[in-house]
A and B are shown apart, each in its own frame.
Chain A
Amino acid sequence: MSGRLELLSEQGLRLDGRRPHELRHIKCKLGVFEQPDGSAYMEQGNTKVLAAVYGPHQAKAKKAEGNELIINCQYSQATFSTSERKNRPRGDRKSQEFKMYLQQALSAAIKSELYPRSQIDIYVEVLQADGANYAVSLNAATLALIDAGICLNEFVVACTASLSKSNIPLTDISHVEEVSGGPKLTIAALPTAEKIAFMEMSERFHIDQLETVIETAMAGCREIRDILEAAVKEHLIHIGSAADWARVC
């Protein structure tokens, strides 16, 4: 554990001035594009992500095996997303990994029995990477799916957590906290059902702490869910009121 930066100051504040249980500031917007069926933009602190959803549409013949719904994800990071400008080819290992993780978490939420022989394409682009890229990408993808009117069991949201040297769990870690050597736990969850759709951990810590760190991440998921829900409702009110709710009555 030596050589690791202390993540928590003596006053109990983190490197960016947050308290241990505090999330970064979240800003999100639905329906940002005209062309896809659903789209969303999400900002969590300085991590900024765009997501677009196409479908459900007819599955491509070569991919279709049986009547299953195909969930096709693509994760990419912009060249300018990190402090070092770097061309990131789309098929590199990290984005392939994230793509699989996204598929796994989203298939837990999408009601695939309603969409036989169909395909849903989800494209995620990270514009600015400042930690918890996967978590923010998943949250943006969820919003885009909701915007596209696709049936979901519930919101699927992700949150990260870490552990400070003094064994205090930290919610929603930023890039600085990620690289300073603390453990990082990512959880994608269905908060209402309290189910975990996906979990990943880097570095190690004592198993006694695992439960509290998971609980911290889950609490973060619940908090994010409430923020996203409020954003979706506000968006619906805005677009519904413009047409005087004509399309519903």
Chain B
Amino acid sequence: MSTNAMIELALDRVDWNDLAGNQEQLPRVFTPGEVLMPESGFMRGHGTFVEEENIVASVAGVIEKVNKLISVRPLKSRYVGEIGDVVVARVLEVGQKRWRVDTNSRLDSTLLLSSVNLPGGELRRRSAEDEQMMRHYLDEGDLISAEVQNIFEEGTLSLYTRSLKYGKLSQGMLVKVFPALVKRRKMHFHNLPCGASVILGNNGYIWIAPTKGEEQEGGEGGFVQNLNEVVPRSEREVIARLRNCILALAKCKLMLYDTSIQYAYEESLKYEPRELLQQHVMFDIGQQTQARLRDVDLVD
């Protein structure tokens, strides 16, 4: 078997900063310890604290003003959950009446047994039997899609899957990016025209799966996991290409949402999926996508 190895010279390495381009209007960025403004008449929000009657930034980022609330938003951080966010999560532990799941946030999140749809009727009472069957429904290592239902005092997220949209994930691929790169939008489930569907979790976990047929749509939201079904090679290639496109966009620090992913996918068609792992190809895709997104912005 012969393989082609690519060895890149340090000389040819890509300067990712080239994507920044020249912009006339740059927002002011603050660094930890920098004084934002005097405290009088303002309220301090996230990323700030008060010292000697001044509001001081505690993270590096841009200032955000909502009426009198001053906060500083870092450009990169762990996932900070908000109620209603769509997340993709992995089960870490099966506990008493709850699952402990990883959502890439500061603390592990919980999924209560009462917040999932159990097979056999929406409003069924949860019995002791169900508790014993919990591992049967969701086991350690399983991936789920869910929504943030509640945020507890110390910041633990409580999730729920009581909708047909959510539930256990079957066959597909998980991509992890920095949570700040996923744009908050109304829709986070997308059936892309290229023949795959993506779930853009707000927590930076992205799920790529083959698009399901109409007749199977109702079967989700539960714990069915069809691992016997063979995904044809063409679909797997599309998924691999999408994964590499998403990683290229993330590398270029571009925002991830349906349009940007679709554009990147279209730009990537001139390359083989495996070529998309090369630095200069990633850069090219980032640049093309950025240009197209900027064009759309201008038209709007």
Contact = CB atoms under 8 A, between A and B. Distances in A.
Nearest to B184: A247
B77 A149 contact: yes
A146 B77 CA distance: 9
A150 B34 CA distance: 15
A192 B77 contact: no
Interface string B248-260: 0011111100000
A153 B32 contact: yes
A146 B108 CA distance: 23
A65 B25 CA distance: 48
Nearest to A236: B29
Nearest to B25: A245
Interface residues of A, number: 42
Contact of A248 (B58, B64, B250): B64
A152 B32 CA distance: 6
B252 to A, nearest CB: 6
Chain B's interface size range is: 35 or more
Given A55-B78, A241-B26, A153 B33 contact: yes
A31 B64 CA distance: 23
A123 B105 CA distance: 20
Given A115-B106, A247-B75, A247-B181, 18 more contacts: A37-B77, A56-B78, A57-B107, A67-B154, A117-B107, A148-B77, A149-B61, A149-B75, A149-B77, A150-B59, A153-B33, A237-B20, A239-B253, A241-B19, A242-B253, A242-B254, A244-B294, A246-B183
Interface of A: 31, 34, 37-38, 55-58, 67, 111, 115-118, 146-155, 190, 192, 229, 232-233, 236-248
29 contacts: A34-B250, A34-B251, A37-B77, A57-B106, A57-B107, A116-B155, A146-B59, A147-B60, A148-B76, A149-B59, A149-B76, A149-B78, A150-B59, A150-B77, A154-B32, A155-B31, A232-B60, A233-B31, A236-B60, A238-B16, A238-B20, A241-B21, A241-B26, A242-B16, A243-B181, A243-B255, A244-B294, A247-B73, A248-B61
Interface of B: 16-17, 19-21, 23, 26-27, 29, 31-34, 47, 49, 56, 58-62, 64, 73-78, 106-108, 154-155, 180-181, 183, 250-255, 286, 290, 293-294, 297
